[in-house]
Structure 1
Amino acid sequence: MGFTNPVYDNNFADPHVIAVDDGYYAFATNGPLGNIQTLKSADLVTWDQVGDALPELPAWSSPGKVWAPEVAVQAADRYVMYYTTADDESQRQCIGVAVASRPEGPFVDKSSKPLICQADEGGSIDASPFTDSTGQRWLYWKNDGNAIGVDTWIYVSKLSPDGLTLIGETIRLIKQTLPWEGNLVEAPYMVEREGKFHLFYSANAYDKETYAVGHALCATPTGPCTKSGDPILTTSPDAAGPGHNMVLQKDNRYWFIYHAWDPALVGSDPPGRTMWLSELTWTADTPTVQPPLKTNPASP
């Protein structure tokens, strides 16, 4: 039995999905449902609105630009969210961290300052947690260099066991170097498979048809990383600007979850970004992502 994209046909940019005992929760950039829009599903295809997972921001931030949440599941009663929000002091977008005992929240950020705020590099956005096969926690993110006309880098640092503190060295992995990437790389997401590390990332302008997803093969969680070259997920006749993906494994199949928008909205500012699914398959260390299709032959 197939399914129809988008799986959630409302504003839901920068989606991230976690699996829990009774199904799945999805989180997204601020929108009609609140600071962190939240949905729930039993099958990844039919989604119900839950509300706002982060109803209160910390004292150092103001609402309006709460972006790109990702949640690490540490235990049945401990969920750690990394998110981007405005830092009032620097006037840049910076990364916060919040904790909840339930997947739907409420998440609470008790910090007195951002977890990461590279103000001199344009700010810090798009945090993505990753736990490797040894149990070590990592955090990936991007400096928001395109906000001030400088390079954008994908960074990584070790996380403390509780996920609340960066420890050790901060390492640069990749920056914009390929023609298709335009002025930026962003939205990192790391996958470990058969001893190799696969860094997925988005590049170019999010509101243009040229926005797409790239891939780099990394020897370790901290690199070195070699880009594959051309993007692996691009605009199709059914969807424009696919990007800010994550990867979910379900019943031995891999799924790309990402946002895209209706090609008829070219030129709108910004386009309405909805949530899409495409299957990810592998040939050795080479990932292949099904192009964005409204009608899909096989459900997750």
Structure 2
Amino acid sequence: MKHPLATLGLAWLLAHSLTACGGSGGGASPAPATPTPNLATTSSIGDFPDPFVLVDGATSYAYATNGNGAHVQLLSSANRVNWTRQPDAMPTLAPWVRAATPDIWAPEVLKLAANRYLLYYTGRDNASGKQCVGVAEGTQPAGPFVDKRNAPLLCQVAEGGTIDASPFLDSDGQLYLYAKNDGNCCGQPTTLYAQKLSADGLSLAGPAVPLFRNTEAWAAHVIEAPFMWKRDGAYQLFYSGNAYDSAAYALGLAHCTSPMGPCTLHPGNPVLKSNLTSTPPLIGPGHNALFNVGGTDYMAYAAWQVTASGARGSVRYLYIDKVDWVNGVPTVTGPSLMP
């Protein structure tokens, strides 16, 4: 049965590793800039988990969790079909990040001015041993981004730590940060939080407000990867749930009355889930981010490789698809292997 986002148009794909939410990654060094072929027909780009796409002028930038010798993987493209690997966007670790196991995950970049970019990311905290959220500064979208802090920007140690930070700039100029407590690491519930940021994006400006917890049966023990999107004046909060490395991993949606909630879970959740009858088939899609080009919304997300036997493979692919909105609900037709 077809429902919103159940079958998806595949714009292009990249291979992903197991180092996404719930995985682990090691240290890194800058990766050489090498051209890559059309990603609609190849996965030779290598591991590229937890994708985020920033469109800045005529160039698009894709960021991902650590891998391929980089703390923050980075690709650039003039057409969002042919991509070039760039050097590590954050080659130097912050003082608060544990060097031996930095676990740099889920980077997202916010442009605040012509020469001011902020990169929010997850890293392993030296002091607590938990994964926490940091923010690094750069003068261009390719970086290098630098975080000189001695402590994380946000770390809910009592709740297992904090991961999957996602910034949101509202039309009134107020900045917000969305994140998830890492309770599933420690047998605790997981909650998505919203929090105001200062005008410069470098500090918290108020308490963290819980939006909702993992109460839906499909999400099981964990919800994560929050991403806020404003469309036609309505606030739509996307998130992922269930075990990231399983076919049960899926994408949920909540309708919020403001950036700080309250939020109502979409009754059709999950809005994006595994579909082995599509072409190509999908296993465990999730951890999405939206971007806009020429007035059209697009979604970047990850889904697992499917082997010839129909099983989950060892890598994940990046999908980018056009998003249509019907009565406030995102829909995507497909899938397709066309750029």
Instruction: Please tell me the TM-score bracket, short chain as reference.
Output: over 0.9
Q: Is the 8 A contact 1:232 1:289 kept in 2?
A: no
| Letter of the structure 2 residue corresponding to residue 255 of structure 1 | Y
Contact 1:3–1:45 (Cα < 8 Å) also in 2: no
Q: Distance in 2 between matches of 1:281 and 1:145?
A: 34
Match of 2:21 in 1: none
Report the alpha carbon displacement of residue 239 of structure 1 after superposing the two structures with TM. Answer: 2.5
Query: Which stretch of structure 1 is more off in the superposition, 11-20 or 273-282?
Result: 273-282
> What's the TM-score once normalised by structure 2's chain length?
0.83
- Provide Cα deviations, 1:246-265, integer angstroms capped at 9, x if missing partner: 01111222111011121228
Residue 289 in structure 1 maps to residue 320 in structure 2 = no
Asked whether 1:5 is paired with 2:12, we answer yes
Task: Indicate whether 1:38 and 2:89 are aligned.
Answer: no
1:73-88 paired onto structure 2 within 5 Å: 73-88=111-126
Q: Are the counterparts in 2 of residues 6 and 294 from structure 1 also a CA contact under 8 Å?
A: no
Q: Distance in 1 between matches of 2:191 and 2:234?
A: 21
Partner of 2:31 in structure 1?
none
Instruction: For 2:292 and 2:274, locate their aligned partners in 1 and report how far apart those are by CA, in whole Å.
Output: 23
Q: Which amino acid aligns with 2:110?
A: A
- Contact 2:89 2:143 survives alignment (8 Å): yes
Task: Identify which range, 59-68 or 88-97, moves more after superposition.
Answer: 59-68
Structure 2: where are the runs of 5+ without partners?
Answer: 1-8, 15-38
Q: Is the 8 A contact 2:241 2:252 kept in 1?
A: yes
Name the SS for the 1:167 alignment partner: coil
Letter of the aligned partner of 2:174 in structure 1? Q
How big is the shift at 1:3?
7.0
Aligned residue among 181, 184, 199 for 1:146 = 184
Distance (Å, rounded) in 1 between the aligned partners of 2:337 and 2:131: 37
Q: Please show how residues 259-278 of structure 1 align to structure 2 within 5 Å.
A: 259-264=302-307, 266=311, 271-278=314-321
Output the amino acid matched with 1:23.
T
Distance 2:306 2:220 in 1: 20
Partner of 1:49: 85
Aligned residues: 293
Higher strand share: 1
CA contact (8 A) 2:195 2:205 kept: yes
| Cα deviations by residue, 1:153-180 (Å, 9 ceiling, x for unpaired) | 1101110010000001210001111111
Specify which structure has the bigger relative contact order, considering alpha-carbon pairs within 8 angstroms and separated by 6 or more residues. 2
What do residues 79-136 of structure 1 show as CA deviations (whole Å, max 9, x unaligned)? 0010000001111100011000011111000111000111110110000000111110
TM-score, with length taken from structure 1:
0.93
2:145 to 107, 121, 134: 107
Which AA in structure 2 matches 1:199? L
1:155 correspondence with 2:193: yes
Q: After alignment, is 39-48 or 208-217 more displaced?
A: 39-48
Structure 2 Cα separation of the partners of residues 260 and 203 of structure 1? 13
Identical positions, percent: 43
Distance 1:247 1:155 in 2: 19
Instruction: Structure 1: state its 5+ residue gaps.
Output: none
Distance 1:294 1:239, change over 3 A: farther
